[in-house]
Copies of this chain bind each other. A is one copy, B any other.
Amino acid sequence: MNKNSKFNAAILIIGNEILSGRTQDTNTSTIAKWLNSLGVKVEEVRVIPDVEKTIISSVNLLRKNYNYVFTSGGIGPTHDDITSESISKAFNLSYEKHEEGYKILEAYYKPGEFNDGRQKMIWMPKGAKLILNPTSGAPGFNVENVFVLPGVPSILKSMLGGLKNQIIGGKPIISKTISLRTFESHIADSLTNVQNKFQDVEIGSYPFFQAGKLGVSIVIRSDDPNEIDKCCYDIFDFVKSKNIEIVNRD
C-alpha cells in the first residue's frame, strides 16, 4: 500500500479518444473531487488505450498499490468496448452474463429492444457487484477494490452518488485558495518558510492569467481545518508585509 496518505485511490481512464486529444477528459476531476469529500486522495491517474494487455496490467498494478481504483470508459456495446472482459481476465474470473444486470436492462428497454449489442453491456466478471446507473440503465460494476464506470461524463457523475457507502475514507480533505496579484518569484521564499513550518499541509502555488492580469493562486490542502487556518494566517502575514493585493479567497 502506498504510504503517501491513509486512504488513497488511482484513476484509470481507458480510451483512445482521450489519448488522441479528440476528447477532453473531465472524469478525473469529477472522481477526484468526489473522493476528496469522502477523505480519499487520488495519487495517480493513468490514461491508456483500448488494448487488452495494457488494461489487464494497469488494473493489476494499480489495485495492488492503492486502496481504490476507479476505471472510466470502455463498457458500452461496441467492438472497442473491451474493459469488462479485460478486467475479468485481470482478476482471473470468467466473463459471463450478470443475471441481476440482465433483469435490470430487460425491464429498462421496450420489448424486443434488448438486442445482442445491449446484452453485451451486462457481461461482466463472475460475481461482480453492480453499480446502478440512474441515467441510462446499463450498470457499472465493482470487483474487490476496483470500480468500473462508463466514460460518458454525465452518466459517470450520476453513478457516483450510489457508491458513497462503499468507500471507506478518512476525514474529508479541505482545500482553501488564496489568489494574489503577484508573481511566484516574489513570494517563493516566504511560501517555502510556511511550507517548512506546516509539513502536513500541502501548499501549492499556481500562476494564473485573468482578465489580462497575472496572479498566483496559493492552494492549501489538509484534512485538519485548524492546520489550514494557522497556515493561512502565516500566509496573510507575509502578504500584508509585502503589500500584496488579495484578488480572491475561497
Interface residues of A (CB under 8 A from B): 4, 13, 15-26, 28-33, 36, 41-51, 76-81, 115-118, 120-121, 151-152, 154, 173, 175, 177, 184-189, 191-192, 195, 202-207, 209, 219, 221
Contacts of A152 in B (CB 8 A): 207, 209
Return the contact of A116 from the options B13, B25, B189 (Cβ within 8 A): B189
Q: Given A78-B188, A80-B204, A80-B205, are A48 and B44 neighbors across the interface (CB < 8 Å)?
A: yes
Copies of this chain: 2
Contacts of A185 in B (CB 8 A): 77, 115, 117-118, 121
Contact A21 to B29, CB < 8 A, known contacts A78-B188, A80-B203: yes
Q: A24-B26, A24-B29, A154-B209 are in contact. List 17 more A-B contacts (CB 8 A).
A: A19-B43, A19-B44, A20-B33, A20-B36, A21-B42, A22-B219, A24-B24, A28-B47, A44-B48, A45-B47, A46-B46, A77-B185, A77-B188, A78-B184, A78-B188, A79-B195, A120-B188
Q: Is the CB of B19 within 8 A of A42?
A: yes
Name A117's contact: one of B25, B151, B186, B219 (CB within 8 Å).
Answer: B186
- Residue in contact with A43 in the complex, picked from B13, B49, B81, CB distance below 8 Å: B49
- Considering the chains assembled together, what is the distance between the CA atoms of A20 and B158 in angstroms? 20
Chain B residues lying within 8 Å of A31, measured Cβ to Cβ, are 21
Query: With A48-B44, A116-B189 in contact, do A18 and B28 touch (Cβ < 8 Å)?
Result: yes
Q: Which of B20, B80, B219, B221 contacts A32 (CB 8 A)?
A: B20
Nearest CB in chain B to that of A33: its residue:
B21
How far, in whole Å, are A48 and B79 apart by their CA atoms in the complex?
31
A30 to B41, CA, bound (A): 27
With the chains together, A173 CA to B232 CA distance in Å?
A: 49
Q: Which residue of B lies closest to A24 (CB)?
A: B29
Could you tell me the distance in whole angstroms from the C-beta of A22 to the nearest C-beta in chain B?
Answer: 6
Provide a sorted-by-A list of 23 A–B residue pairs whose CB atoms are within 8 angstroms. Answer: A16-B221, A17-B219, A18-B45, A19-B43, A19-B45, A20-B32, A20-B221, A21-B42, A22-B29, A23-B206, A25-B25, A43-B49, A44-B46, A44-B47, A46-B46, A78-B184, A78-B187, A79-B205, A80-B203, A81-B205, A117-B189, A151-B206, A152-B207
